[in-house]
Amino acid sequence: MPVDDRHLNHQSLDSAVSVKLPLVMAYQNQRSACDSSVLAVLADPTRRALLDLLRREPLPVGELARRLPVSRPAVSQHLKLLKEARLVREHRLGTRHYFGLNPVGFAGLREYADSMWQEALSAFATYVAQQSGAAKGKARTGSTNKR
């Protein structure tokens, strides 16, 4: 006997969705998984603020924490994620940990963005060529019909 989905509670709904809608990983490949993790790291406004501060010069964790409205441990956690995403690199000078931007990580991000733009521009060029060809075909058909 089928269950009327309108009368399910949240727990039942979760299990019903799990059964009726199996998980499908349709658009994931090795490259996009890596790129999406970097994009997920960049989605956080605190991490973007950290990157903005580091654009000027490498800074120690304490200085970064003083410039942001979050605790030092929170800054350290954000830096850890940025480092894992290869967007920042760390070097130690005495007891201080300095963080700066990692050009290698940004080069990969730039390559990803450039490839997206290239694909979009290629698709647009194909569309324009098709529209141009269709317009020329209509013009030829129109001129032959008038004779």
Q: pLDDT at position 21, please? A: 47
Residue 97 has pLDDT above 80, yes or no: yes
In percent, how much of the chain has pLDDT > 70? Answer: 70
Q: pLDDT at position 65, please? A: 96
The model's confidence at residue 13, banded by pLDDT at 50, 70 and 90, is very low
Task: Indicate the range of 17-31, 84-98, 104-118 predicted with least confidence.
Answer: 17-31
Count the Cβ atoms, other than its own, within 10 Å of residue 108: 18
Q: pLDDT at position 35, please? A: 57
Calpha distance 114→132 (Å, rounded): 26
Q: pLDDT at position 127, please? A: 92
User: Residue 82 in contact with residue 41, Cβ under 8 Å?
Assistant: yes
Residue 146 has pLDDT above 60, yes or no: no
What are the CA-CA distances from residue 83 to residues 100, 103, 107, 109 (Å)? 10, 12, 15, 14
What are the CA-CA distances from residue 48 to residues 43, 64, 106, 127 (Å)? 8, 12, 13, 36
Quick one: 83 exposed, middle or buried, by C-beta within 10 A (0-12, 13-18, 19+)? Answer: middle
Q: pLDDT at position 93, please? A: 92
- Domain residue ranges of the chain, discontinuous segments joined by +: 24-101, 103-147
At 52, is the secondary structure helix, strand, or coil? helix
24-101 has which fold?
Answer: Arc Repressor Mutant, subunit A (1.10.10)
What stretch of H or E contains 30? helix 30-42
Q: Which two tokens stand for residue 33?
A: 């998984």
Residue type for position 145: N
Q: pLDDT at position 18, please? A: 46
Task: Indicate the range of 76-80, 83-87, 128-132 predicted with least confidence.
Answer: 128-132
pLDDT tens-digit series, residues 25-78: 444 444 444 555 898 999 999 999 999 999 999 999 999 999 999 999 999 999
User: Residue 102 in contact with residue 89, Cβ under 8 Å?
Assistant: yes
Q: What distance lies between CA 55 and its chain's CA centroid?
A: 20
Radius of gyration of the chain (CA): 26
The model's confidence at residue 144, banded by pLDDT at 50, 70 and 90, is low
